[in-house]
Amino acid sequence: MIELAAELFLLKACPKARLLSRTVAVVSGTMLLAQLAMAESSYTVIAVSNGGTIQGVVKLAGAAPTIAPIVVTKNQDYCGESITNPVYVVGKDGGLQNVEVYLKDITKGKALPTDPTTISLVNTHCMFSPRVQASTVGQQITISSEDPVLHNTHPQNSETNATIYNIALPYKGFSVTKPLPANPGLIKVKCDAHEWMHAWIWEFDHPYFATTGEDGKFTIKDVPPGTYTLVAWQEAAGEKSMPVTVTSGKTVTADFQLTPK
Ligand SMILES: [Cu+2]
């Protein structure tokens, strides 16, 4: 009952959690932990009964630039001499894969997904898979290897370069599961053994995001009516944003053209 009361209190207090006094926090250990976890989040869960949908396609402005294959400099016996460079993956209708599309600064909406609890990043054929993915605060990550060579998975905060963890994967079948950072942000991942191996993990404190697939399309559902900033991020082309106005029960189209760099 006390915990329930604390949760209800937190639900109301979340947006200003960092302003809560220490005196209140010591009332319950559970509450203190929850409060700390929420201190950096400005997202509030509300019931969204008839939200709108944002959908669109991301393409490149003009043709994809020609990018030389990756030259393999280590473990050529297993990895081969070269690997196709996956910086720009364009589908047959020009859709651009591996773009993260998300609402910026959304402060309230539906709850974070509870399934899956764990995302995965696989070292396979001397590359990371997937290249780009998204997660939410509170999820874990399983890092594994399908390769019989030594990999080293090294996620870093993309802004500060601070190491999040640094995991050696010594053999095929090795895996380890770790919590994701407590705060949202963009995580860049490298392999210290193979300098060409890169991946990106977006971590959000809200559920309004999508990673484009082979067709470059995205759909973001159950958005509360309002005007938001929609961002499309790509590892090489960078970010582009546009305002979108979402109406209850309607679908709004928001297509992006990113300029290759
Ligand atoms: Cu590696």
Distance (Å) of CA 40 to CA 111, 188, 219? 17, 20, 27
The packing angle between helices 29-38 and 2-13, to 10°, is 20
CA of 158 to the centre of ligand 1 (A): 19
Q: Ligand 1 being an ion, which residues bring their Cβ within 5 A of it?
A: 151, 191, 193-194, 197
CA of 193 to the centre of ligand 1 (A): 5
CA of 218 to the centre of ligand 1 (A): 30
Per-residue confidence (pLDDT) for residue 225, from 0 to 100: 97
Per-residue confidence (pLDDT) for residue 37, from 0 to 100: 44
Per-residue confidence (pLDDT) for residue 155, from 0 to 100: 98
CA of 227 to the centre of ligand 1 (A): 43
- Per-residue tens of pLDDT for the chain, all 261 residues: 333 333 333 333 333 333 333 333 333 333 334 434 444 568 999 999 999 999 999 999 988 899 999 999 999 999 999 999 999 999 989 999 999 999 998 999 999 988 889 999 999 999 999 999 999 999 999 999 999 999 999 999 999 999 999 999 999 999 999 999 999 999 999 999 999 999 999 999 999 999 999 999 999 999 999 999 999 999 999 999 999 999 999 999 999 999 998
Per-residue confidence (pLDDT) for residue 41, from 0 to 100: 63
User: In this structure, are residues 151 and 121 in contact, taking their beta carbons and an 8 Å threshold?
Assistant: no
Q: Which residues contact 82 (CB under 8 A, 6 or more apart)?
A: 69, 70, 71, 72
CA of 79 to the centre of ligand 1 (A): 10
Per-residue confidence (pLDDT) for residue 15, from 0 to 100: 34
CA of 163 to the centre of ligand 1 (A): 17
What would the DSSP string read from start to end of the chain?
-HHHHHHHHHHHHGGGGGGS-HHHHTT-HHHHHHHHHHTT---EE---SS-EEEEEEEEESSSPPP-PPEEP-S-HHHH-SEE---SS-B-TTSBBSS-EEEEES--EESPPP-S-SEEEEEEETTEEESSEEEEETT-EEEEEE-SSS-EEEEEEETTT--BS--EEE-STT-EEEEEPPSS-EEEEEEESS-TT-EEEEEEESSS-EEE--TT-EEEEEEEPSEEEEEEEEETTTEEEEEEEEE-TT-EEE--EEEPP-
Per-residue confidence (pLDDT) for residue 80, from 0 to 100: 97
* 127 phi/psi in degrees, rounded to 5: -140, 165
Task: Give the other-Cβ count within 10 Å of 190's Cβ.
Answer: 18
Adjacent-strand bridge partners of 190? 154, 198
CA of 149 to the centre of ligand 1 (A): 8
Distance (Å) of CA 78 to CA 121, 133, 143, 191? 20, 26, 20, 16
CA of 88 to the centre of ligand 1 (A): 21
User: In this structure, are residues 219 and 254 in contact, taking their beta carbons and an 8 Å threshold?
Assistant: no
Per-residue confidence (pLDDT) for residue 141, from 0 to 100: 98
Per-residue confidence (pLDDT) for residue 261, from 0 to 100: 86
User: In this structure, are residues 90 and 101 in contact, taking their beta carbons and an 8 Å threshold?
Assistant: no
* 209 phi/psi in degrees, rounded to 5: -155, 165
Per-residue confidence (pLDDT) for residue 92, from 0 to 100: 84
